[in-house]
Amino acid sequence: MADPSERDPFPESRLESDAGATFVLKSKGKWWHAGFHLTTAIVGPTILTLPVLEHCEKAGRRHIRFRELAADVLGSGGMFYFVIFIQTAINTGVGIGAILLAGECLKHLLLFFTSGNLVCFGCGKIMYENLSPNGSLKLYQFIAMVTVVMIFLSQLPSFHSLRHINFASLLLCLGYSFLVVGACIYAGLSKSAPHKDYSLEPSSSSRVFSAFTSISIIAAIFGNGILPEIQATLAPPATGKMVKGLLMCYTVAFLTFYSVAVSGYWAFGSKSNSNILKSLMPDEGPALAPTAVLGLAVVFVLLQLLAIALVYSQVAYDIMEKQSADVKQGMLSKRNLIPRIILRTLYVMFCGFMAAMLPFFGDISAVVGAIGFIPLDFILPMLLYNMTYKPSRSTLTYWVNLSIIIVFTGVGIMGSFSSIRKLILDANQFKLFSSDVVD
């Protein structure tokens, strides 16, 4: 690790000519703004990078990017590009997944009013008569609609400008979680309740592979590869502010994640779909909960997915503007505005195209979790902490961190293998530009 007395490899003066830092990661936020961003992005073991960030800031080296923090602490130019690669894989994967799920939500949502009466609301099948008289719209067409909306939203200039959207995202998260929990309880207690099967797969090898694939998916769900970038949005000094934001975030995560997981598994057992709303709105038969409740939940999910895609796009936009923009000419100058519109539009179109072409959400989540989130969230933070604070080998902290590094290195390798295995096994279900999402 660089000694505090040594020259900062990323000096503060660099920000004066860094358009990415000046435009995208501008430091103007309050602690509750960080809480909104964190809740949308969700946090995980990367919180162990916070002490490292604060240590570097006290030493006069405030880092606003994960890749710069890793390069400073580990003293390797290779780590800088390694983190860029991992972050790019994560953020692009999350962007693709969010657009894919938003398109699916849009597909499963139709709100028609005929003479003021609700005809159909989130009933699992969509009536297209008014939209496509000659046939059904396909999933990729709904993905295209979401992509157009995302292109407009992507022009919001900075991470800080998302604070109001991410506050709405927090409220939406609470709203649809409680609606889904109520719907699962209703479905589980109803006369038409599905058969509950809590049994595991009969093959021991299949159970092992499924377990590692599940760990990879959990890592993708709880992971957060943009913690330093979120802290960068805080007005300095950032010390202590992120802790308040984290408390807000974990309170929301506890109330929502576990309530949905427990109620969904109780209602549907091992047959629960990766998207619990699809279990509540089966393709055959009536909805298992009031359609108005399910429809409102779908609307909330759809809107929050747009916020998630926006948050995880910020690192890509930071990289783009650092290379393409001229900080001396202003954020909204013609010189900077035109490249911003073109590059961000191309990036969103790429994510939308991949979502439409490869609608394999469960498998995408597993691969992104294994290759991206596990190294960035479970291995690198522990390594950064040990190298920054250098705890004695006789302390529990050192061995806990080392154990996590070793265990999750193995989990990452096995997760990658099992995720790729699942992709191969599911290959017969894959169809380019399919109208059904493969779980």
Q: Distance between terminal CA atoms of the chain?
A: 43
Task: Identify whether 231 is part of a domain.
Answer: yes
The pLDDT of residue 107 is 77
C-beta of residue 215 within 8 angstroms of C-beta of residue 2: no
- Rounded to an integer, the average pLDDT of 285-301 is 83
Question: Given the structure tokens 């983190």, which residue do they identify?
Answer: 83
Number of domains in the chain: 1
The domain of 424 spans 21-429
Longest dimension (CA), the chain: 75
DSSP class per residue in 144-169:
HHHHHHHHHHTT---SGGGHHHHHHH
Which of 49-53, 245-249, 333-337 is predicted with the least confidence, judged by mean pLDDT?
Answer: 49-53
Task: Identify whether 15 is part of a domain.
Answer: no
- Rounded to an integer, the average pLDDT of 170-186 is 91
Task: Identify whether 437 is part of a domain.
Answer: no
The pLDDT of residue 379 is 83
pTM of the prediction? 0.78
Task: Identify whether 12 is part of a domain.
Answer: no
Q: CA-CA distance, 253 to 245, in Å (whole number)?
A: 12
The pLDDT of residue 133 is 43
Instruction: Check whether 199 has a pLDDT greater than 70.
Output: yes
C-beta of residue 105 within 8 angstroms of C-beta of residue 308: no
Task: Identify whether 7 is part of a domain.
Answer: no
Q: CA-CA distance, 260 to 69, in Å (whole number)?
A: 35
Mean pLDDT of the chain: 76
Q: CA-CA distance, 436 to 142, in Å (whole number)?
A: 12
Task: Identify whether 5 is part of a domain.
Answer: no
Instruction: Check whether 131 has a pLDDT greater than 60.
Output: no
What does the chain come to in residues? 439
Structure-token pair, residue 217: 């998916």
The pLDDT of residue 181 is 92
- Rounded to an integer, the average pLDDT of 32-44 is 70
Ranked by mean pLDDT, the top range of 7-21, 176-190, 238-252 is 176-190
434 vs 131, more confident: 434
Instruction: Check whether 409 has a pLDDT greater than 90.
Output: no
The pLDDT of residue 389 is 85
- Composition of the chain by helix, strand, coil, percent to 5: 70, 0, 30
Q: What is the DSSP letter of 201?
A: P
Task: Identify whether 435 is part of a domain.
Answer: no
Instruction: Check whether 117 has a pLDDT greater than 50.
Output: no
Instruction: Check whether 44 has a pLDDT greater than 60.
Output: no
Task: Identify whether 438 is part of a domain.
Answer: no
CATH number at residue 103: 1.20.1740
Model pLDDT for residues 93-108, shown as the tens digit of each residue? 888 888 988 888 887 6
C-beta of residue 122 within 8 angstroms of C-beta of residue 287: yes
The pLDDT of residue 152 is 93
- Rounded to an integer, the average pLDDT of 296-305 is 87
- Rounded to an integer, the average pLDDT of 269-274 is 76
The pLDDT of residue 223 is 64
